[in-house]
Amino acid sequence: MTTFILKSSVLMKKQLLFVFLLLNTLAASSQEPVYQPSQMQADLKKFKNALEYAHPGMYAHTTPEAFQRFFDQLLLKTNRSLTGVQFNNIVMELVAAIHDGHTRVFANGRLRSYINQQKLLPFHVLMRDQRIFITRNLSSADFADGSEIIAINGNRSDKIIMELMQHFGGDGLSNSALEYRFGSSYNSFYRVFPLLFGFDSLYNVTIRDYKTKQVQQMPLMAVTAGEFRARELAGYGNNLHADGIEEIMAQPALTFSIRPEYGILKINRFFKDGFEEPANTFPDLYKDVFRQINDNKVEQLVIDLRGNGGGIGANAASLVTYLTSSSFVPTLELSLRGNGAYYKQITEDSLGLDSYFALKRQGDYYIVTDSAQFTELKKYIPANQNRFNGKIYVLIDGGTLSAAGAAAGMLRAYTNSVFIGTETGGYAGMSNGIRQLSIRGDSTEITINLPLIHGEFGIPLAERKRGVVPDYQITPSIHDLIKGKDTAMDFVINRLIKKL
C-alpha cells in the first residue's frame, strides 16, 4: 500500500511538472516579443539588401536615391526598443514602397502566434473615395449595414486609409487593388486595422447610421475569428471570405451560363486544381464553353474577371485565342537578375533555377528558355474551331490580379473588347509573380517573400506598367451593395446589350 502511494505521488509530481511547463510554454507563446535596435536594424538592412539584390521590379516606381532616403527614415524608427508588431509594421512599409503586389511580409514563430491570437473588428467594410463603409455588422450594436465609419478610437477615416496605403502595396501606383483588398480576404480591414493601430478588446467607433443619418459613437467589442465567421453565417447565411485554400478551391474555376441575348463566362482563377495540373486542363474547359457558345449562336459575351487572383499565364492566353483573329506571343520575355549561383549570396536554399527554367545568360541578366514548359513564351494562333466573332464585354476590378490582369491586357490588345468596372489590380503588361524566395530575419521573427522572375507581355510598352483602365468606369456605391445590386453587370446588360 505504501509503495502504491509513493508511485502515485511521483506520478502526480510529474503530471504537475508537465502542466507547469505546458502553461509556461503557452504563456510564452502568447507574449509579444520585444526587439532591440541592433536586432531590428540588422534585419532591416538584410531585407533591403535582398530586395535590391534580387527583386526584378525593385525600381519600377522609384529610384535608388529616393528609396535610400526612405530607408534612412525607417531606420530612425528603430532607434529604441519596439514590440514585434511595431517592427513588423516597419518592414511592411519597406515592402509597400516597392509597389509590387507579389512582395509580402510574414510574421513567424512567437510573433505569428501572438498576432493570430488577437481578436478582430466585428464588421466587413467597403472602402471608396477616402471613405469607409460597414457592409456587414457582426457586432451586438444596433446600426444598419451601409453605415459610414467616421473614426475609430479617435482616428479619422481619411487618416486610417492613409496609414493603410503606406503599409500595403499592390501592382503599380493605382489604389484600385488596395481598396479592393481591404474589403476582401487578402488584407481584410477587420484584421489589418488592429495590426496597425493596436490590438484592443473594445473599439470606440464613430459612425453615421445608414438609415437614420445620425452620427453616434459606440463601443464595439472585438471578436475571435471563430466568432466572426459564426455570427456572419448565422446572420447572413454565408461567409464573404474563404477560410483557407480548401474553401477557395471548392469554388469552380469557371462557370458559363446562357441567357436569351448573351452568355456570361465567369472566370474565378486561371487554374483548375493546381499549378502542376496537365497543360490541357484549362484549354479543355474553354473548348466546351465555346462549343456551347457556337451551338447556341451566342452573339454577345460577357467575360467576368472580377476578383480573379490569377494563376497560369498560358491559361489566360488560351482564352484569347477564341476571341482574336491575330496571332500573338503572350510573354515576350521571362527574366531574372541572375542564375542559381547568383542567389547563393542571399539564401542557403537550393533553388534549382538553372535546370528547371533552362536559364540562359543575356547581357547582364538571365532569361527563361524552356518554352515547352512555359508555353506563354510561344506564339499563339487563333482557335480553329468555335472562335467567337461577336461583341465582348469584360468586367474588371481591383481584384483582377496577376494572370487575370494579363488576361485583361491581352484582351485589350488583341480584341475589340469593351471594359467595364474599375482598373485592374494587376499590371496589364508585366508581372513579377513567378518563383518566390523567402528571406527570414536573423534576429527577429519577420520574413519577407519576394519574386525572382519578371515577365514582359506582348502589349504596347506604354500600357505595361499599370492596370487595364475600363472604358466605362462603374464603381458600385454602398447603396448598390446594400441592395444587392451588381451595378457593373447591370450596366453591361441594360445599357450595352439591351440598350435600354
Residues 328, 320: contact at Cβ < 8 Å? Answer: yes
Q: What is the pLDDT of residue 16?
A: 45
CB-based contact 111:31 (threshold 8 Å): no
Say yes or no: domain 123-223 is CATH 2.60.260.20: no
In terms of Cβ atoms closer than 10 Å to its own Cβ (0-12, 13-18, 19+), residue 203 is buried
Mean pLDDT of 133-147: 97
Quote the percentage of the chain above a pLDDT of 90: 86
**In the predicted model, is pLDDT for residue 4 greater than 50?**
no
Asked whether the predicted pLDDT for residue 3 surpasses 50, the reply is no
Question: pLDDT at residue 30 above 90?
Answer: no
Q: Can you tell me whether residue 453 is helix, strand or coil?
A: strand
Report the alpha-carbon distance of residue 500 to residue 495 in Å, rounded.
6
User: Per residue in 187-225, pLDDT tens?
Assistant: 999 999 999 999 999 999 999 999 999 999 999 999 999
- Grouping H, G, I as helix, E, B as strand and the rest as coil, residue 333 is strand
196 in Cβ contact with 87 (< 8 Å): no
- The pTM score is 0.91
Can you give the C-alpha Rg of the chain in angstroms?
Answer: 26
244 pLDDT tier (thresholds 50, 70, 90): confident
Average pLDDT over residues 438-453: 97
Q: Can you read off the three cell numbers belonging to residue 341? A: 549561383
What residues pair up with 127 in beta bridges, in sequence order?
A: 132
| Class of domain 251-330+380-426+470-497 as given by CATH | alpha beta
Which tens digit of pLDDT belongs to each residue from 330-382? 999 999 999 999 999 999 888 889 999 999 999 999 999 999 889 999 999 99
pLDDT in tens, 254-299: 999 999 999 999 999 999 998 889 999 999 999 999 999 999 999 9
Range in 14-28, 263-277, 321-335, 477-491 the model is least confident about = 14-28
pLDDT of residue 205: 98
Quick check: 414 pLDDT over 90?
yes
Distance of CA 17 to the CA centre of its chain: 45
Which pLDDT belongs to residue 12?
Answer: 45
Q: Is the pLDDT of residue 496 over 60?
A: yes
The stretch 96-109 carries a mean pLDDT of 96
Residue 8 has pLDDT above 80, yes or no: no
Q: Are 419 and 472 in contact (CB under 8 A)?
A: yes
User: For residue 496, which amino acid is it?
Assistant: L
pLDDT digit string (tens) for 448-474?
Answer: 999 999 999 999 988 999 999 999 999
Q: Which residues contact 465 (CB under 8 A, 6 or more apart)?
A: 60, 61, 172, 427, 429, 430
> What is the pLDDT, as a whole number, of residue 82?
98
CB 334 within 8 A of CB 369: no
Averaged pLDDT score across all residues of the chain: 92
Domain boundaries, the chain: 34-109, 123-223, 251-330+380-426+470-497
What proportion of the chain, given as a percentage, has pLDDT over 70? 94
Based on DSSP, count helices (H) and strands (E) in the chain, helices before strands: 17, 20
pLDDT of residue 344: 94
Nearest residue to 60 via CA among 465, 469, 337, 402? 465
